[in-house]
């Protein structure tokens, strides 16, 4: 009787697909023959905006992109303006009036493409009134537990000073801002008065004109640790068989949990796996020998990096 081999071929196909995927994770693809295409700014582009948004086509298997900008051209470099590695296929920066060329290459851990064809562009002199500052750091929507943070931004051609505003109410009432100062530099160290979500923006100025406000970036300051974790299973001083499922309650502000498994002296970490971080509220413990007493405890950590106090210390005996 003729057997139906279709199920076996399907299993083989799935196995090979998984094997190829696994090998791809181990052996990085050779991208050296691929080509990068630039989108914007286009060749011979002219702009009265000092803010330039670079954009290129991404390629599969690239981990990073190496962006270079020179003035005036790569075959007659007067100055290297920008030489940076980015993960995205877009990058923004403010540049002074002048003539420039730019190019990009793709990279992964083992290979890199050739640089793209270079595109030239020009930035024309224009009034500061139509320009915007590019904010540098902290990045938008970031979270920090550092009481003092440095706010920084890029320079703008023609500016002699910069106005920094920080608020917690989206600048609805500029008479009640948290911070409002004009300085000659491009960074300010600011100490947060309390846990809060803050908005910040910058405007360039000179003696005769003011630029437009920059984009508004948001930053959350949080130095309050999460609540203590409550362990739920196994019961303290209970007997348990491998694998032992360690369980605890969820904590509202926790982004992850840190598990501490300890030897029978209750102080020495069981092995170099611990402390172990997880986003789950369970962990399967698979080590140990019959009759061994194991201790464990858990902490919660939030997105800002604050860590709670330890939970109670529990133990179980392997049976």
Note the pLDDT tens digit of each residue in 141-195: 999 999 999 999 999 999 999 999 999 999 999 999 999 999 999 999 999 999 9
Whether the domain at 129-221 and the domain at 231-318 fall into the same CATH topology: yes
Per-residue pLDDT of the chain (319 residues), as tens digits, is: 455 555 555 554 545 555 444 444 568 999 999 999 999 999 999 999 999 999 999 999 999 999 999 999 999 999 999 999 999 999 999 999 999 999 999 999 999 999 999 999 999 999 999 999 999 999 999 999 999 999 999 999 999 999 999 999 999 999 999 999 999 999 999 999 999 999 999 999 999 999 999 999 999 999 999 999 999 999 999 999 999 999 999 999 999 999 999 999 999 999 999 999 999 999 999 999 999 999 999 999 999 999 999 999 999 999 9
> According to CATH, what is the number of the domain 38-126?
2.60.40.10
pTM, entire model: 0.80
Whether the Cβ atoms of residue 138 and residue 109 lie closer than 8 Å to each other: no
Question: Which residue, 197, 294, 313, 303, is CA-closest to 251?
Answer: 303
Domains of the chain by residue range: 38-126, 129-221, 231-318
In SS3 terms, 284-304 reads as: EECCCCCCCEEEEEEEEECCC
Chain Cα centroid distance, residue 49: 28
Domain 129-221 belongs to what topology? Answer: Immunoglobulin-like (2.60.40)
> According to CATH, what is the number of the domain 231-318?
2.60.40.10
């Amino acid at each position: 009787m003729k057997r139906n081999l279709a199920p076996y071929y399907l299993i083989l196909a799935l196995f090979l697909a998984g094997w190829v995927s696994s090998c791809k994770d181990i052996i990085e693809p050779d991208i050296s023959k691929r080509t990068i295409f630039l989108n914007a700014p286009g060749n011979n582009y002219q702009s009265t905006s000092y803010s330039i948004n670079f954009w290129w086509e991404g390629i599969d298997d690239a981990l990073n992109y190496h962006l270079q900008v020179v003035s005036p051209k790569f075959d007659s470099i007067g100055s290297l303006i920008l030489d940076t590695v980015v993960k995205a296929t877009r990058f923004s920066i403010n540049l002074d009036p002048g003539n420039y060329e730019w190019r990009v290459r793709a990279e992964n851990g083992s290979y890199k493409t050739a640089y793209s064809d270079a595109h030239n562009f020009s930035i024309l002199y224009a009034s500061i009134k139509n320009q915007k500052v590019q904010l540098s750091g902290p990045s938008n929507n970031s979270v920090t537990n550092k009481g003092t943070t440095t706010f920084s931004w890029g320079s703008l051609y023609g500016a002699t000073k910069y106005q920094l505003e920080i608020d917690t109410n989206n600048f609805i009432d500029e008479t009640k801002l948290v911070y409002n100062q004009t300085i000659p530099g491009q960074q300010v160290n600011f100490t947060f008065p309390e846990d809060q979500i803050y908005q910040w923006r910058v405007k360039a100025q000179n003696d005769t004109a003011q630029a437009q406000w920059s984009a508004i970036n948001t930053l959350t300051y949080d130095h309050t640790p999460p609540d203590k974790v409550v362990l739920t299973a196994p019961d303290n001083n209970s007997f348990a068989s491998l694998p032992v499922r360690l369980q605890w309650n969820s904590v509202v502000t926790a982004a992850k949990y840190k598990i501490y498994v300890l030897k029978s002296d209750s102080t020495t970490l069981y092995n170099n796996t611990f402390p172990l971080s997880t986003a789950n509220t369970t962990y399967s413990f698979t080590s140990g020998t019959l009759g061994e007493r194991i201790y464990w405890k858990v902490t919660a950590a939030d997105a800002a990096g604050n860590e709670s106090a330890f939970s109670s210390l529990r133990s179980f005996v392997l049976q």
